């Protein structure tokens, strides 16, 4: 396939680029950095864009078989001040709007747009499983995901299949959430956040990459899709499993008030949760490599 990938230099994007090129796909990377464009991985083509306005890059959508959009500033990159919230929204909404505009102007439009989102769309759901048809939450992260997804869905009337990849916490060594979470455990200070009873939706990066490729290839998938492992756990269960994988204690809980004091509104990502389930992936036949948390963490720390 000829694939146009925005956000290909990030935590998931770099690994996805390697996976796609390894199976023979031709990948064009959209990057905001000329330096990143100059050092693009072998087998890829890099084009500079600003994530907003149309320019020479817009022709890259013409003739592409698929578009993958992973662009957006990290929600865990700092406290959610008003300025930070605006930057989080604009980095997602503007880039998605620009990509859909490029699709609309293509003479041969891509067959599919796989657009990243997050299970934060559902907000905090204290009880029960959360399938893809669950309602949108009411907090900031839910509003952010909702705006992001609406921009992507504008490609559907253009004849492009749209997959909204609602990702859980992606677990991998050397980056992402796991790199931040493992340090207290290594110091012997690890433990659950708040009550520990809140759901912790997660997915091994191998399965995040596998499910993204599956979404590109499977014409059955469209609309919102929960990219989470089927082995749902609570925050306390995850903490215990991480402690075991690191051979460290997991006995020191972080009180909710301390997490809120340290992180402000961003603490809702850790103290809230939703037991999202991968209903659509299961029906479509995706086979998880790492369905349970103990096996997933054992795999990561063996590496």
What tens digit of pLDDT does each residue of 209-220 get?
Answer: 999 999 999 888
User: Strands 161-167 and 112-118: what pairing?
Assistant: parallel
pLDDT confidence of residue 175: 80
HSE-CB at 207 with a 13 A cutoff on CA atoms is 30
- pTM of the shown model: 0.94
Residue 90: which residues within 8 A CB-CB, separation 6 or more? Answer: none
Residue 55 CA to residue 41 CA, distance in Å, equals 23
Tokens 């031709």 appear where?
Answer: 26
pLDDT confidence of residue 216: 97
- Two structure tokens written together for 174: 């050397």
Is residue 264 within 8 Å of 202, Cβ to Cβ?
no
Residue 170 CA to residue 202 CA, distance in Å, equals 6
- Identify any residues that bridge with 67 across adjacent strands, giving them in sequence order: 4, 113
Residue 120 CA to residue 144 CA, distance in Å, equals 9
Helix runs in the chain, H state only:
11-22, 34-38, 82-105, 140-153, 176-186, 205-217, 235-246, 256-263, 268-271, 279-284, 293-302
Please give the domain boundaries of the chain with CATH numbers for all domains: 2-168+204-228 (3.40.50.720)
Among candidates 4, 14, 107, 15, which has minimal Cα distance to 49?
A: 4
pLDDT confidence of residue 292: 97
Among candidates 53, 137, 167, which has minimal Cα distance to 102?
A: 53
pLDDT confidence of residue 180: 81
Residue 214 CA to residue 218 CA, distance in Å, equals 6
What tens digit of pLDDT does each residue of 198-249 get?
Answer: 999 999 999 999 999 999 998 889 999 999 999 999 999 999 999 999 999 8
Spell out, as residue ranges, where the chain has pLDDT lower than 70.
Answer: 37-39, 303
Among candidates 200, 132, 214, 127, which has minimal Cα distance to 166?
A: 132
pLDDT confidence of residue 303: 63
Residue 69 CA to residue 4 CA, distance in Å, equals 8
pLDDT confidence of residue 141: 95
């Amino acid at each position: 396939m000829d694939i146009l990938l925005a956000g290909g230099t990030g935590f998931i994007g770099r690994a996805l680029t390697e996976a796609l090129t390894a199976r023979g796909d031709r990948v064009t990377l959209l990057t905001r950095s000329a330096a990143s464009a100059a050092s693009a991985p072998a087998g890829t083509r890099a084009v500079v864009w600003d994530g907003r306005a149309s320019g020479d890059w817009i022709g890259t959508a013409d003739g592409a078989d698929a578009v993958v959009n992973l662009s957006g500033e990290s929600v865990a990159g700092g406290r959610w001040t008003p300025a930070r919230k605006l930057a989080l929204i604009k980095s997602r909404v503007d880039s998605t709007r620009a990509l859909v505009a490029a699709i609309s102007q293509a003479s041969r439009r891509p067959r599919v747009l796989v657009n990243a989102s997050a299970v934060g769309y559902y907000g905090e759901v204290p009880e029960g499983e959360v399938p893809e048809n669950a309602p949108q939450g009411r907090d900031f992260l839910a509003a952010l995901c909702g705006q992001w997804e609406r921009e992507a869905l504008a490609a559907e009337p253009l004849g492009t299949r749209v997959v909204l990849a609602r990702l859980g916490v992606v677990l991998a060594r050397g980056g992402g959430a796991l790199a931040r979470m493992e340090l207290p455990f290594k110091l012997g200070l690890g433990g659950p956040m708040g009550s520990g009873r809140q759901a912790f939706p997660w997915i091994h990066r191998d399965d995040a990459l596998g499910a993204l490729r599956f979404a590109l290839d499977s014409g059955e998938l469209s609309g919102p899709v929960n990219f989470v492992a089927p082995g749902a756990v609570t925050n306390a269960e995850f903490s215990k499993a991480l402690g075991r994988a690191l051979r460290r204690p997991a006995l020191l809980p972080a009180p909710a008030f301390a997490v809120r004091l340290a992180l402000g509104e961003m603490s809702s990502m850790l103290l809230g949760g939703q037991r999202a389930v991968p209903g659509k992936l299961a029906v479509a036949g995706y086979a998880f490599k790492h369905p349970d948390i103990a096996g997933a963490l054992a795999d990561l720390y063996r590496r």
